[in-house]
């Protein structure tokens, strides 16, 4: 069965919610939100050094092509469920409807902590790039204290921008799309035209490099897939902002799929351009700047152009983090609206003027700041905490898809759906997420020590333990999504199913 597209507010009411947020985002703005959060200029650049040591150029490029295809399957399957349930709660609401409140509660905590961990990791990465730029420009050493200060300033800036309302967020996201496209064109164009030396195609598409300490090339190559998988995250933002999007049943679903597809294309071009321009492989991996892409810019283009392109990357990363804060704050708002969080009444309050969840915005920057505090004393401890991002948000994508497959014919599709491809694409998505979740938990460096240990499994167990404790102590009593409209509305809804 398929449900025809309905009036946005009528759809929301029939899903049990009173329209409260300002619906001021168009289809392009919704796409731009997820495209900005995926941000190839953030993810690819931040993990570029990781890719150089876990398989090198061949794994980076072919891995990007393969992982992008798998993520496109995940996104398409999730988009189908989003079309049926276009609400800010997104993943946890879908899981609650299709599997019951316990499924929804656990999914919500995975999603929420993943989004907040992503804010911490993304903004801290931006602080590192900013520190590298300051070092190149004025010789300011990027100490842990200075990096944390830059990180705090970034969070304050983003909170201020988000408090102006969703219209400004939408405008900034639209600008972000063109900034990313122009930025990638400028970077790749400069790296193609300026350097007198370029790597060969055989190097870019075939060179394998292993700096992990592990001897098995297959294992190292699998680790290298994580560069792409880490970058392809956050596209659930289109669903989280669906209550602020016009024609949400179609626009939010398309926003998810289109953001993944275009990030897939643009990211491949960016990675290829960067790899062709490497002048000194070992020097790039061990760059004194601490940022391998900065070293490529320096070696290939000189300090002036390097600083200019670093600014392009930093601004793109700010766009990414700004969109990420919008997504995280709406998740806090929605989860609180369904009484899942402590002090829910505070976090679900909206500004009378902008209809923005002000307290939720501040919570969504306060938690990442707390998560980053261990970076003052141990980079390992900080890495362990922000691993909550990847290990939390990735499984959350597959849970609604799995429950939709389990529901079978009982699932009433929205106006955007996959037709006969729904089941095969859905199972590909679920299997891929299960596989990549295992990859996230594997040790990336040998020998395994306190400093090189992969804390992702600890993060995974911590999220599950937190959800279990909160569910048993308060969640099973307080949490609950609303009924599917009134009896009269359910009857009326049935007439719109064909």
Q: With bands split at pLDDT 50, 70 and 90, how would you rate the model's confidence at 289?
A: confident
Closest Cα partner for 229 from 405, 435, 89?
Answer: 435
- Examine the pLDDT at 296 and tell me if it is beyond 60: yes
- Examine the pLDDT at 292 and tell me if it is beyond 90: yes
- Examine the pLDDT at 485 and tell me if it is beyond 80: no
Tell me the average pLDDT across 266-282: 98
| Greatest CA separation for the chain | 72
How far is CA 423 from its chain centroid? 25
Q: With bands split at pLDDT 50, 70 and 90, how would you rate the model's confidence at 255?
A: very high
- Examine the pLDDT at 486 and tell me if it is beyond 50: no
Q: With bands split at pLDDT 50, 70 and 90, how would you rate the model's confidence at 455?
A: confident
User: What is the sign of the dihedral through the CA atoms of 191, 192, 198 and 202?
Assistant: positive
pLDDT in tens, 104-153: 999 999 999 999 999 998 999 899 899 999 999 999 988 999 999 999 99
Which residues, in sequence order, are CB contacts of 106 under 8 Å at separation 6+? 95, 399, 464, 467, 471
State the pLDDT at residue 450. Answer: 81
- Examine the pLDDT at 51 and tell me if it is beyond 60: yes
- Examine the pLDDT at 496 and tell me if it is beyond 70: no
Give the count of alpha carbons within 13 A of 3, CB side only: 24
Could you tell me the two tokens for 469?
């404790």
Q: With bands split at pLDDT 50, 70 and 90, how would you rate the model's confidence at 487?
A: very low
- Pair type for strands 54-55 and 209-210: antiparallel
pLDDT in tens, 188-218: 999 999 999 999 999 999 999 999 999 999 9
The C-alpha atoms of residue 446 and residue 36 are separated, in whole angstroms, by 34
Q: With bands split at pLDDT 50, 70 and 90, how would you rate the model's confidence at 20?
A: very high
Three-class SS string for the chain? CEECCCCHHHHHHHCCCCCCCCCCECHHHHHHHHHHHHCHHHHHHHCHHHHHHEEHHHHHHHHHHHHHHHHHHHHHHHHHHHHHCCCCCCHHHHHHHHHCHHHHHHHHHHHHHHHHHHHHHHHHHHHHHHHHHHHHHHCCCCCHHHHHHHHHHHHHHHHHHHHCCHHHHHHHHHHHHHHHHHHHHHHHHHHHHCCCCCCCHHHHHHCCEECCCCCCHHHHHHHHCHHHHHHCCCCCHHHHCHHHECCHHHHHHHHHHHHHHHHHHHHHHHHHHHHHCCCCHHHHHCCCCCCHHHHHHHHHHCHHHHHHHHHHHHHHHHHHHHHHHHHHHHHHHHHHHCCCCCCHHHHCCCCCCCCCCHHHHHHHHHHHHHHHHHHHCCHHHHHHHHHHHHHHHHHHHHHHHHHHHHHHHHCCECCCCCHHHHHHHHHHHHHHHHHHHHHHHCCCCCCCCCCCCCCHHHHHHHHHHHHHHHHHHHHHHHCCCCCCCCHHHHHHHHCCEC
Q: Please check whether residue 321 is in contact with residue 158, taking contact to mean a CB–CB distance below 8 angstroms.
A: yes
Closest Cα partner for 176 from 328, 11, 42?
Answer: 42
Closest Cα partner for 272 from 207, 327, 212?
Answer: 207
Q: Please check whether residue 243 is in contact with residue 19, taking contact to mean a CB–CB distance below 8 angstroms.
A: yes
State the pLDDT at residue 95. Answer: 97
- Examine the pLDDT at 37 and tell me if it is beyond 70: yes
Report the mean per-residue pLDDT for the chain. 92
State the pLDDT at residue 138. Answer: 94
- Examine the pLDDT at 281 and tell me if it is beyond 90: yes
Distances (CA, A) of 276 to 49, 189, 193, 312, 442: 15, 12, 11, 20, 30
Distances (CA, A) of 307 to 188, 296, 444: 15, 11, 31
State the pLDDT at residue 6. Answer: 60
What backbone torsions phi and psi does residue 497 show, to the nearest 5 degrees? -100, 130
- Examine the pLDDT at 497 and tell me if it is beyond 50: no
What backbone torsions phi and psi does residue 210 show, to the nearest 5 degrees? -130, 105
pLDDT in tens, 380-412: 666 666 677 778 888 999 999 999 999 998 999
How many residues are there in the chain? Answer: 498
- Examine the pLDDT at 320 and tell me if it is beyond 60: yes
Q: Please check whether residue 389 is in contact with residue 234, taking contact to mean a CB–CB distance below 8 angstroms.
A: no
Could you tell me the two tokens for 402?
């799995």
Q: With bands split at pLDDT 50, 70 and 90, how would you rate the model's confidence at 494?
A: very low
By mean pLDDT, which of 165-169, 265-269, 336-340 is the weakest? 165-169
Query: By percentage, how much of the chain surpasses pLDDT 90?
Result: 82
The C-alpha atoms of residue 384 and residue 374 are separated, in whole angstroms, by 10
């Amino acid at each position: 069965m398929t449900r025809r597209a309905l009036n946005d507010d009528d759809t929301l009411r029939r899903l049990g919610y009173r329209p409260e947020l300002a619906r001021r985002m168009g289809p392009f703005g919704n796409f731009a939100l997820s495209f900005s959060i995926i941000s190839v200029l953030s993810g690819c650049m931040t993990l570029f050094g990781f890719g150089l040591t876990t398989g090198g150029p061949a794994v980076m490029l072919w891995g990007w092509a393969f992982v992008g295809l798998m993520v496109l399957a995940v996104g398409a399957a999730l988009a189908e469920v989003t079309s049926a349930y276009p609400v800010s709660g997104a993943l946890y609401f879908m899981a609650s409807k299709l599997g019951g409140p316990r499924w929804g509660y656990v999914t919500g905590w995975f999603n929420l902590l993943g989004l907040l961990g992503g804010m911490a990791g993304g903004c801290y990465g931006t602080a590192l790039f900013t520190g590298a730029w300051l070092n190149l420009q004025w010789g300011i050493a990027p100490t842990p204290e200075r990096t944390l200060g830059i990180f705090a300033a970034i969070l304050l800036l983003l909170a201020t921008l988000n408090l102006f309302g969703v219209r400004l967020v939408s405008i900034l996201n639209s600008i972000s799309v063109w900034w990313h496209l122009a930025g990638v064109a400028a970077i790749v164009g400069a790296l193609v035209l300026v350097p007198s030396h370029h790597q060969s195609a055989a190097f870019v598409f075939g060179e394998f490099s292993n700096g992990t300490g592990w001897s098995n090339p297959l294992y190292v190559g699998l680790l290298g897939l994580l560069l792409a998988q880490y970058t392809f995250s956050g596209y659930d933002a289109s669903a989280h902002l669906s209550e602020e999007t016009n024609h949400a049943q179609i626009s939010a679903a398309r926003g998810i799929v289109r953001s993944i597809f275009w990030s897939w294309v643009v990211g491949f071009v960016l990675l290829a351009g960067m790899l062709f321009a490497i002048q000194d492989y070992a020097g790039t991996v061990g760059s004194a700047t601490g940022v391998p892409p900065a070293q490529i810019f320096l070696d290939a283009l000189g300090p002036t152009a390097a600083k200019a392109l670093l600014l392009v990357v930093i601004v793109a990363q700010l766009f990414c983090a700004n969109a990420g804060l919008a997504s995280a704050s709406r998740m806090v708002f929605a989860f609180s609206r369904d009484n899942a969080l402590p002090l829910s009444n505070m976090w679900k309050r909206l500004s009378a003027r902008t209809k923005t969840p002000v307290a939720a915005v501040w919570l969504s920057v306060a938690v990442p700041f707390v998560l980053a505090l261990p970076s003052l004393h141990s980079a390992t401890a900080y890495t362990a905490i922000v691993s909550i991002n990847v290990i939390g948000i990735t499984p959350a994508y597959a849970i609604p898809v799995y429950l939709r497959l389990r529901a079978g014919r009982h699932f009433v599709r929205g106006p955007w759906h996959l037709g006969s491809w729904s089941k095969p694409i859905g199972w590909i998505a679920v299997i891929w997420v299960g596989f990549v979740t295992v990859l996230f938990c594997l040790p990336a460096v040998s020998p395994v020590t306190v400093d090189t240990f992969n804390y992702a499994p600890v993060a995974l167990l911590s999220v599950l333990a937190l959800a279990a404790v909160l569910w048993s102590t308060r969640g099973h009593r307080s949490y609950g999504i609303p009924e599917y409209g009134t009896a009269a509305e359910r009857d009326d809804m049935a007439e719109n199913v064909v």
